[in-house]
Amino acid sequence: MGYFAFQWAVIIIGLALHVGFDRSRSRHTKGRIAELAALWLVVGFGAWSIWGGVFHVGPTSTAIADQIGYAPSMFQWEVGWADIAFGVLGVLCVARRFRGGWTDALLAGLAIYFYGDGIGHIMQLVAHGNTAPDNVWALPADFLIPTLSIVAVLVARRLGTYSRPAVPAAAGGAHEAPERPVAA
């Protein structure tokens, strides 16, 4: 439980501090706040996915498996590396050049991965009575992380503050969709 509570606290407090101390020209506008929320969710949970993945594959993997109510296995190793892969993609979205299509691909994969993971945790709880702390406390994260991330990115894009994916050009090739100017 502590891991999940701590990650939410860091994201929320980090976002609040970023909004409070933001020095961009567009600070405190709906668009800027939506952009920062999208960044803190996508990039922040990317960082937490890396952290969680390291726990799954590192020397603490046996303790982590126990906290989830599982026996250590090769599947934990695979889940750990999947966490790290999605985490790296999320962290890379901090750079404007990696937003747009990268964010869309990340969010699609994140939704499938986390929703599927959440269904697995529900099945463990219901079918097997697995009430281990990290089996139960993974549920809010598994459903809220992708949902809130998708909503935040969509709202920020609607307000014109988060990069849009590339669109095909009429004469072939690809170019970036026009964006409204945003202070960095």
Render pLDDT for 21-34 as a digit per residue (tens, 0 to 9).
Answer: 999 888 889 999 99
Q: Which of 82, 81, 61 is nearest to 73 (CA)?
A: 61
Q: Which of 133, 120, 109 is nearest to 49 (CA)?
A: 109
- Domain ranges, ordered by start, for the chain: 2-17+28-164
Render pLDDT for 41-79 as a digit per residue (tens, 0 to 9).
Answer: 999 889 989 999 999 999 999 999 999 999 889 999 999
Terminus-to-terminus CA distance in the chain, angstroms?
Answer: 35
Q: What is the pTM of this model?
A: 0.81
What values do phi and psi take at 28, rounded to 5?
65, 10
